[in-house]
Structure 1
Amino acid sequence: MKNNDLGLLIIRVSFGLLMLLHGIAKLLHGVDFLGGMFQSVGLPSFFAYAVYVGEVIAPLLLIVGFRTKLAAIAFAFTMIVAVLMAHAADVFTLTQTGGWAVELQGLYFFGALALFFTGGGKLAVSSVSKWD
């Protein structure tokens, strides 16, 4: 039995919940450390607050399936920024066990990209919109 919509629901909820945990940590402990990272590359520290879009709002939207494509592209952009800001030196690196050093960020990025192209499926709140 093939059920693509159930598969998309599982992916949306899994990715959303797992990233939401990162966002909750930032809600509880703040993003000051990110502000310093942005300042160190010449950007304003208030850019750090954008992490709430990618790690709280977008995951919540993915979980319920509201505007899945928009949420997914925001999620993917967040992962690009995270890699560039904190993991750029690891992009071409393997771990001691042979895994990609940024495989978690890569999984989040490519999963979000897949959701951007597929949408949320029929088990999503906004399943009839072009931005589902």
Structure 2
Amino acid sequence: MLENADLGKLIIRLTLGGLMLFHGIAKLLNGIGFIEGELASHGLPTFLAYGVYVGEIIAPLMVILGYQTRIGALLIIFNMLFAIILVHGNELLSLGRSGGWALELQGFFLFTAVAVIFLGPGRYKLKN
């Protein structure tokens, strides 16, 4: 049987980091006005919206490269908790149109980042 835990960890890191990075690139191209509006509607300072670049660009790159992977995963967790609380709080216990959990994507990012914290980067990483 083929077994390579380090390759599995790499695949998880590339999946989590790569898919999250697409969200960050979209915000680079389209701006963060929506996030600023959500923060303002909750009485929070709008400059906090720039944190999305940390959570959706810097942290995913850390996870992809295996550089300070656990810190990168923790940043993704904070990013997802903010997204769930600010934008998706009313959907927490809802079903989506296809019958699954309405927050499947957010849950994937959140819980996969938690798994990466416990698993660590594995052997295939940048030396740090």
TM over 0.5: yes
Mapped partners of 2:126, 2:93: distance in 1: 39
Counterpart residue number, 2:55:
54
For 1:12-91, list aligned pairs within 5 A.
12-91=13-92
Counterpart residue number, 1:117:
118
TM-score computed with the length of structure 1 as normaliser? 0.92
Aligned residues with identical type, % of pairs: 48
The 3-state SS of whatever aligns with 1:125 is: coil
- Number of positions where the alignment pairs a residue of Structure 1 with one of Structure 2: 127
The 3-state SS of whatever aligns with 2:88 is: helix
Aligned-residue offset at 1:77: 1.0
- Structure 2 stretches of 5 or more lacking a match? none
- Structure 1 stretches of 5 or more lacking a match? none
Opposite residue 54 of structure 2, the aligned amino acid is: V
TM-score computed with the length of structure 2 as normaliser? 0.95
The 3-state SS of whatever aligns with 1:12 is: helix
Counterpart residue number, 2:7:
6
Give RMSD over aligned pairs.
Answer: 1.0
